Amino acid sequence: MNTVDRIKEMLETLKIFSETSNGVTRLPFTKEAELAVSYLKQKMEEAGLEVFVDASGAVHGIRRGISPRKIIIGSHYDSVKNGGAYDGIAGVVCAIEIARILKYETLFYTLEIIGFNDEEGVRFGTGFFSSKAFLGEWDIEKLKSQYDDKNISIYDAMKNWGLVPEQLINIVWQISKIRCFMEIHVEQGPVLEKEGVDLGIVNGIVGMRRYSIKIFGRADHAGTTPMNMRRDAMVAAAKVIEHIEMAAQKYLGSVATVGSCIVSPDTVNTVPERVEFSLDIRSINDDDLYAMEQDILIYLECVAQERNLTYEIQTKLEVEPAQMDKRLRAYLRDSILRLGYSSVSLNSGAGHDALPISRKVPTAMLFVPSKNGRSHCPEEYSKPENLAKAVQVVINTLKKINNEEDINNELS
Ligand code: GLV
Ligand code: MN
Ligand code: MN
């Protein structure tokens, strides 16, 4: 089997570990996640790696180099609901293939492959679970105050999955021990396909904020309560949601999405008492992100006052926009040229573990074209041939990093 066939086979197998047959649903701390982790462990072992699962549920494979300082390559293994078979997991599979190809090579830096857990944040409305754990950004209180739609906290979900949340403290990275982080990921947008190129080098990644917003009104009879005497949480939510779309349109390159909404009591003949909805806002420009957030919050306050309603906002995620490392981007570009592949540089509108990590560790991302730019849906597809090209480019880049001048300094 060659690289293309191995990538194809791994992705086909991993696709099976889904909760539904409509696309892939592999949420964190579930049976499906457990099956994926056990398969990834097996593949990492076959690639000659020392394998373990950490306190966040991330799966690691290590190849010791001459130096204990690490180059980390990885992506996430969780998915959205009814998503595709490539988002995240394709990068984990490529990383395993990289380790397999380098199985018998002497490496200067230690190579660590990671399948990150819960990057998407779908289950708890959060995001970047393992990467934030590596950066020491979770505490027990936070784990106990974020819930899924069945009212299970992250803390309890971890325990039910056999993890010990208190041990998260033990997996915080020693930043000086890490040379860099690299992530291969499918583009999830239309740019690379439109440009007709093999690969994309990521310049920067959008900043993101996520909130859970609850609007509280009063449940009343839908037939007997006059329109001017209602405190309807649903109408208020609808007005705010429409404003959210307008607010995002004011700032070029910014986006805002309400992707989840729960109404209660969710009854045909009762005025809605409570509406809870998610808000995800993103921009490559931090000032725009802040301005858009303020715009939405001020409008929410006005609507609540006007309609005699109350509301609560819980911040679920806050990450500033980030630039990828210049030197690593140059290495990637040089490797692409030497291998005779084509590429363009682009920003990422999707979030990635590379985003929070890049604040602390030199980080680079390589994108693989997505068919019709589709992602977060069952139609998601990227050619295994292009994923195999990304593998070759990263191997070439690893060799450059392993040979760079400061190795002499490390040895002395
Ligand atoms: C992850 O795919 C995100 O951008 O939300
Ligand atoms: Mn992803
Ligand atoms: Mn995703």
pLDDT in tens, 280-310: 999 999 999 999 999 999 999 999 999 999 9
Rounded to whole angstroms, what are the CA distances from 52 to 37, 69, 138, 241? 10, 18, 21, 44
**Cα 187 from Cα 369, distance rounded (Å):** 5
Residue 23, number of CB atoms within 10 A of its CB: 19
| Pocket of ligand 1 contains residue 350 by CB under 6 Å | yes
pLDDT tens sequence across 352-406: 999 999 999 999 999 999 999 999 999 999 999 999 999 999 999 999 999 885 5
**Cα 408 from Cα 384, distance rounded (Å):** 37
Ligand 1 atom nearest 280 alpha carbon: 5
pLDDT score recorded for residue 23: 98
| Pocket of ligand 1 contains residue 295 by CB under 6 Å | no
Q: Give residues with Cβ within 8 angstroms of 288, minimum separation 6.
A: 251, 253, 254
| Pocket of ligand 1 contains residue 281 by CB under 6 Å | no
User: If you average pLDDT over residues 148-175, what whole number do you get?
Assistant: 98
Torsion sign across C-alpha atoms 18, 81, 172, 98: positive
- If one residue of 282, 376, 377, 380 were mutated to test the ligand 1 pocket, choosing by the most ligand atoms within 8 A of its CB, it would be 376
Query: Letter for the amino acid at 265?
Result: P
Nearest ligand to the C-alpha of residue 184?
Answer: 2
Note the maximum CA span of the chain: 83
Span from the CA of 362 to the centroid of ligand 2 (angstroms): 19
| Pocket of ligand 1 contains residue 235 by CB under 6 Å | no
pLDDT score recorded for residue 408: 54
Rounded to whole angstroms, what are the CA distances from 107 to 70, 81, 110, 164? 10, 39, 7, 33
Q: Give residues with Cβ within 8 angstroms of 227, minimum separation 6.
A: none
| Pocket of ligand 1 contains residue 78 by CB under 6 Å | no
Q: What pTM, to 2 d.p., does this model score?
A: 0.95
Span from the CA of 319 to the centroid of ligand 3 (angstroms): 16
**Cα 66 from Cα 411, distance rounded (Å):** 9
**Cα 93 from Cα 120, distance rounded (Å):** 18
Q: Which residues pair with 72 in a beta bridge?
A: 112, 181
Span from the CA of 174 to the centroid of ligand 1 (angstroms): 26
Binding residues: 76, 87, 120, 185, 210, 269, 282, 376
The DSSP code sequence of 329-381 is HHHHHHHHHHTT--EEEEEESS--THHHHTTTS-EEEEEE--GGG--SSTT--
The residue among 329, 325, 400, 402 whose CA lies nearest residue 366 is 329
Ligand 1 atom nearest 351 alpha carbon: 4
| Pocket of ligand 1 contains residue 91 by CB under 6 Å | no
At 134, give phi and psi (nearest 5°). -65, -25
Where do we find the tokens 């950004």? 137
pLDDT tens sequence across 179-207: 999 999 999 999 999 999 999 999 999 99
pLDDT tens sequence across 34-82: 999 999 999 999 999 999 999 999 999 999 999 999 999 999 999 999 9
| Pocket of ligand 1 contains residue 300 by CB under 6 Å | no
- Is the pLDDT assigned to residue 412 strictly greater than 50? no
Do the Cβ atoms of 383 and 187 come closer than 8 Å? no
| Domains by residue range for the chain, with CATH | 3-206+321-411 (3.40.630.10), 207-319 (3.30.70.360)
Span from the CA of 221 to the centroid of ligand 3 (angstroms): 41
- Is the pLDDT assigned to residue 96 strictly greater than 70? yes
Query: Letter for the amino acid at 233?
Result: A
End-to-end CA distance of the chain: 42
